[in-house]
Amino acid sequence: MSRAFLRDDAEGEMPRRFYDLPERDDPRYDQAAARALLEAARVNETQLAERATGYYWGEPKLKGFIEAIRVEAEKSGDDRLEQVARRFLA
């Protein structure tokens, strides 16, 4: 393989995603973090959202927000979002 297709410094590198989170001291932060974790899980990038939000998957503090998102997803027919929300809550 040509060295043009290799990156020596790529080990552990992950795609970058913008999560549009408010400041940590904003009262809406936890709700935005919950949504970011679910949206990242939807596309298999949970680790990126954990880094961006400072919360790990399954964080008990976020469960109320996750449940509200799950209900919203169920009502709107968003099966994938509902699925990842249920997984978070399990």
Round to whole Å and give the CA distance between 9 and 18.
22
For every residue of 7-66, DSSP letters joined together read -TT-TT-----------TTSTTHHHHHHHHHHHHHHTT-HHHHHHHHS--TT-GGGHHHH
At 5, list the tokens.
């297709």
pLDDT tens track for 43-87: 999 999 999 999 999 999 999 999 999 999 999 999 999 999 999
The pTM of the full predicted model, rounded to 2 decimals, is 0.79
pLDDT tens track for 10-36: 445 554 567 789 999 999 999 999 999
